[in-house]
Amino acid sequence: MKAMEPDCKKPGSIFNFTNIDIIVSMIYSDELLNSIKDILVDNQQTIAIAESVTSGNLQAAFSVPMDASKYYQGGITAYNLGQKTRHLNVEPILAQKTNCIEQRIANTMAVEVSKMFLSNYGIGITGYAAIVPECEEEGLFAYFSLAYEQEIVLAKRLTSIEKHPYDVQVNYAQDAIQLVHDYLKSK
């Protein structure tokens, strides 16, 4: 018996692309994402994303604007040390020492994803979405980096007061979108 595959074009399907666009639009600012798209397309530039703590949220957000393929090259979610080392050339001793949560790790992720996807810009983000012993005292935080032509142009430590891990991931993704937007608008 052949397995049924979801019909993404069928009205009412939870997998309908229009429904996914609506859900993502409810979470992330269409205005910011479309502005990022317009700036990159007007300058014939592209962007790629390497994420860990946001676990695909940034990739989903950047893929939603109309004609996303004109500026968005793709992304990778590397959630553990082994994958960050293997796919993004993160230095393993530093990664092990810092639990992969360090500004230099985010910087490497941003530069390496831009190389991997042959994009002008690269985003790297890594951090904690849930309280673990390593962040119990400091609270939740993440490191964000934006690379342009394989040079870091923006690096920032993000924090979240959200409690639920998914809400933390969304919060970091929203902050990252805002940071990318503000950087591109300032150029």
Domain ranges of the chain: 29-186
Topology of the domain comprising 29-186:
Maf protein (3.90.950)
* 112: its two tokens: 């390496």
Higher-confidence residue of 132 and 85: namely 85
- State the residue for tokens 């150029």: 187
Residue 27 has a pLDDT of 87
Beta bridge partners of 77: 51
Q: Are 35 and 181 in contact (CB under 8 A)?
A: yes
Residue 100 has a pLDDT of 94
Residue 123 has a pLDDT of 98
Confidence of residue 132 (pLDDT cuts 50, 70, 90): confident
Q: Are 76 and 50 in contact (CB under 8 A)?
A: yes
In order, the DSSP letters of 24-73 are HHHHS-HHHHHHHHHHHHHTT--EEEEESTTTTHHHHHHH-STTGGGTEE
Q: Is the pLDDT of residue 3 over 70?
A: no
- CA pair distance 54, 50, nearest whole angstrom: 10
Q: What is the pTM of this model?
A: 0.87
Note the pLDDT tens digit of each residue in 156-176. 999 999 999 999 999 999 999
Q: Are 121 and 47 in contact (CB under 8 A)?
A: yes
Q: Residue 72 to residues 112, 122, 181: CA-CA distances in angstroms? A: 16, 10, 14
Note the pLDDT tens digit of each residue in 17-53. 455 555 565 688 899 999 999 999 999 999 999 999 9
Calculate helix-pair angle for 30-42, 165-186, nearest 10 degrees.
Answer: 40
Residues of the chain above pLDDT 90, percent: 79
